[in-house]
């Protein structure tokens, strides 16, 4: 069975509007051989969503994504952006629980469970991020750590709802550090995540969920990482800010 493969650019808090426009143009004008099961996401800062939409909405296999949304529906939450607002802009994906949100903005597994749910309520696909920090990896307890993240934030979903979720495994020690997980480490965790999903949601569902790898994916390591059986593409930070690097990463998809 062919799972959907994703090359997802996570720009984080980078680029001016003009730089963003140029980067979008360069990536979208490249010949990337995309199809239903081989798609590109641009997770851009909120003020650039309309710009990105303008470039991708006529294109079939490119999609915009928000980098975050509120866990609240609407109301007096100054500075927050709701899932309903994003959906009304035709944004179809939203990152949920990126480790930088967990670390710098105090996002807990419980809040992220609410965010996943609210995305699904408004018909947006949450890209749920999980992954262990360095000291957990050093203690070799990463499986338990990631299992708890999945348990707290995704197990409240029904199997039908889980089928609408994309997962990104991003070991925190590999994000922005240039220290990529080895292919073995990535494959091992992805297959573990799938086994945890299988236990709770059944085999058929677990086999259908796309699990992206994130953490120092580069043009020169994407191909081998994406070739791993349980790795369904990548969530790319630093290298997504450079058009030719990101284009090469998209071409590395299965």
Decide whether 181 or 206 has the Cβ nearer to ligand PGA.
Answer: 181
Query: Does residue 185 touch ligand PGA according to CB under 6 A?
Result: no
Q: Which residues are annotated as catalytic?
A: 98, 170
Query: Does residue 235 touch ligand PGA according to CB under 6 A?
Result: yes
By CB under 6 A, the residues from 65 to 124 that bind ligand PGA are none
Using the contact rule CB under 6 A, the part of the chain among 84-92, 130-138, 139-147, 211-219 near ligand PGA is: 211-219
**Tokens standing for residue 21:** 């426009």
Using the contact rule CB under 6 A, the part of the chain among 159-167, 169-177, 199-207, 223-231 near ligand PGA is: 169-177
Query: How far apart are alpha carbons 98 and 114 in whole angstroms?
Result: 14
Q: Are 20 and 246 in contact (CB under 8 A)?
A: no
Buried b (16+ CB within 10 A) or exposed e, 75-94: eeeeeebbbbbbbeeebbbb
Using the contact rule CB under 6 A, the part of the chain among 64-72, 76-84, 195-203, 214-222 near ligand PGA is: 214-222
Q: Rounded to the nearest 10 degrees, how much is the dihedral formed by the CA atoms of 108, 114, 115, 121?
A: 170
Q: Show Cβ contacts of residue 181 under 8 Å, excluding neighbours closer than 6 positions.
A: 171, 174, 189, 213, 215, 225
Q: Which of 237, 246, 247, 253 binds ligand PGA (CB under 6 A)?
A: 237
Decide whether 75 or 106 has the Cβ nearer to ligand PGA.
Answer: 106
Query: Does residue 10 touch ligand PGA according to CB under 6 A?
Result: yes
């Amino acid at each position: 069975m062919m799972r959907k493969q994703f090359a997802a650019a996570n720009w984080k808090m980078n680029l001016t509007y003009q730089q963003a426009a140029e980067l979008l143009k360069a990536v979208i004008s490249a010949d990337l051989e995309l199809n239903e099961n081989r798609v590109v996401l641009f997770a851009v800062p909120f003020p650039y969503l309309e710009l990105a939409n303008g470039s991708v909405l006529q294109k079939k296999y490119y999609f915009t994504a928000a980098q975050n949304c509120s866990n609240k529906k609407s109301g007096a939450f100054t500075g927050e952006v709701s899932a309903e607002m994003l959906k009304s802009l035709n944004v179809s994906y939203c990152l949920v629980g990126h480790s930088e949100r967990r670390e710098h903005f105090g996002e807990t597994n419980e809040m992220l469970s609410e965010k996943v749910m609210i995305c699904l309520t408004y018909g947006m696909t949450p890209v749920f991020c999980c992954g262990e920090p360095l000291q957990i990896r050093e203690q070799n307890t990463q499986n338990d750590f990631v299992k708890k993240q999945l348990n707290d934030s995704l197990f409240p979903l029904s199997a039908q709802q889980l089928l609408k979720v994309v997962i990104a495994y991003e070991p925190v020690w590999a994000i922005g550090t240039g220290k990529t997980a080895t292919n073995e480490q990535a494959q091992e965790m992805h297959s573990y995540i799938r086994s945890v999903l299988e236990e709770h949601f059944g085999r058929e569902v677990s086999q259908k969920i796309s699990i992206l790898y994130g953490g120092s994916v580069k043009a020169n390591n994407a191909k081998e990482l994406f070739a791993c059986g349980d790795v369904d593409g990548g969530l790319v930070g630093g290298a997504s800010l450079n058009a030719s690097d990101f284009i090469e990463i998209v071409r590395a998809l299965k």
